[in-house]
Structure 1
Amino acid sequence: MDTAQETAQEGGEFGLNMILEAGILSFLGKMLLAIIVFVVLLMIAKAVSASVRNRVVENTVVDDDEYSKKVGDLIGTLTYYTGVVLSMFIGLQIVGFDIGILLGGISVGLGFAFKEVLGNLLAGVLILTTKEFKLGDNIEIQGSNNYFGTIEEITMRYTVLRGLDLRRTVMPNLELITNPVMTFTSEDLLKLNTTVIVGYGTDLDRASQIALEAVNNLEVVKNKDENKTMITNLKDSDFGTNGVEIKVIFHVEPGGDVKGPGGPISQANKAIYNAFIENGINIPYPHTSITVDKNDKNLLGSAMYVINKSRNS
């Protein structure tokens, strides 16, 4: 009886071991097959992405070769990583994982963890494919902090601006998509303006004419017949504190540092200043007028205290 029980027990253990060994061998076989398939698909993805990149570069109709290469690199990289993801999912499917549940968990995790990264990548795709901006463009980003500079580099995640102080600013691509961007080099002509203040009592028609002629005499200024001036702070008797503002509006061709030290705005300011000096037009400085009743000793003393304090500071 004991011998029969021992024989049955040994038979059961042997059968269980056979099942376990068969399961392990089957799992290892699936793992090996999945690895082989994954490696083969990666090689295919790499070859396809290289072919796509070359075709994009060859068929992109733009004058800028650097821009064509960047677009080609972008499309090639996206193609490769798409192939990597598909290869991974196929390999996991071969092993026996439930891809539906896996995709749900991955999508939720990536959505929270890589929200900004994915947003910048998508923005980079839009910038490089729509060609709203390109290398060498002068732009001003009007967000919470304004940035002005020349585009030196555009990648999938960020754009590099070179400012007037020659410092590089690395901007996430999402900033260029979600904020207003003013361009200074993509148009045929730019309409710029500068403002000068003249003192009260100045002949505004004469001052406006002198300022306009000074700007129109610059070589950089175009469309001279369409340039004009306007008074900006004479609305509802709201005069300026120190004088009257005259805004000069003029046109220039795009290119170069528009707001830089040698740019057209700087040249216009210098020309207007010299013209006003030559023609005796006063450019006022900030000042405050105090009127005191000479019979009010307390008020007179307070006024003298303020004057003496301002002189000593």
Structure 2
Amino acid sequence: MTTADTRADRPLAIAIAITTGEPAGVGPELTAAALADARGRWPSARFIVLGDRDLLAQRKLVERDAIDIDIDIDIDIEHHALAAPVEAGTLNAANGRYVLNLLDAAIDGAVDGRFDAIVTAPLQKSTINDAGVPFTGHTEYLAERTHTPRVVMMLAGSSDKPLRVALATTHLPLKDVSAALSIDGLVETLRIIDHDLRAHFGLAAPRILVTGLNPHAGENGYLGREEIDVITPALERARALGIDAPGPYPADTLFQPRYLKDADCVLAMFHDQGLPVLKYATFGEGINVTLGLPIIRTSVDHGTALDLAGTGRADPGSMIAAIDAAVFMAHHKRAV
């Protein structure tokens, strides 16, 4: 590890680790662009960037031993060597384990208390799988590595677009979603959302609107019984635990201002039920937060954008928002 100016006279600084993700993608340059935007933005945070030093130099993040950003913030580089040379936009399975090494180092540092939060740039699932490592996604991997039995994927807009959407199921084929839903599972998911919105976002009494699974929320059983047999009993049990979780609502009409104005989060039943709406409203400014973990993790709301890698045209808005959220959540956790 090579360290830039650590400014040790600020012992209370929040430590944020940033993994630079797929080396052929936009992660390295988004990290650079986001930190370049940091002038006066995060005065009480320091950043530890995890990645290959030469790669970061190529993407204009560092000049060999120091960040090439002339602003008053704390930034360290934690060097992890690439397994193979990288060409922007061209995937190489030889670097699949490099990407996981970055993630493992960030997770270990957060679990050990060295990092207050981690922010993850996008990775390429196919590259990791092609490297011989079964990999479904960041969310599932974080749960496995931290020995967390259940986590919740939540995407959110920026501070001026505060829509939040959490998922009851994540990266599953649509045909498997119904079987993956259970009363106990939904209750636990709602408990995690309620707890983390209180603990990390400072919401005293979160209100979580819950969608149905089927069109028209099942139409009283004529279009499916999941609402009757699973979702409604789960909501009744959650409300008995003090969780404000009305529903199930038809997903095609729920995402309207008159319903969302008093809501803190929407719980959707599957990935492409809730996320297209959120990404339409907030794309490029939204973030991904993993709830239920013993650590704080935020991420961008998009993929590796291989077509933009190395061009300097990738928009850092989502990375900036992810760092904003990580700093906010870490400060809130430290204060309570």
What TM-score results when the alignment is normalised by the length of structure 1?
0.24
Higher relative contact order (CA 8 A, sep 6+): 2
> Which of the pair is proportionally richer in helix?
1
Larger radius of gyration: 1
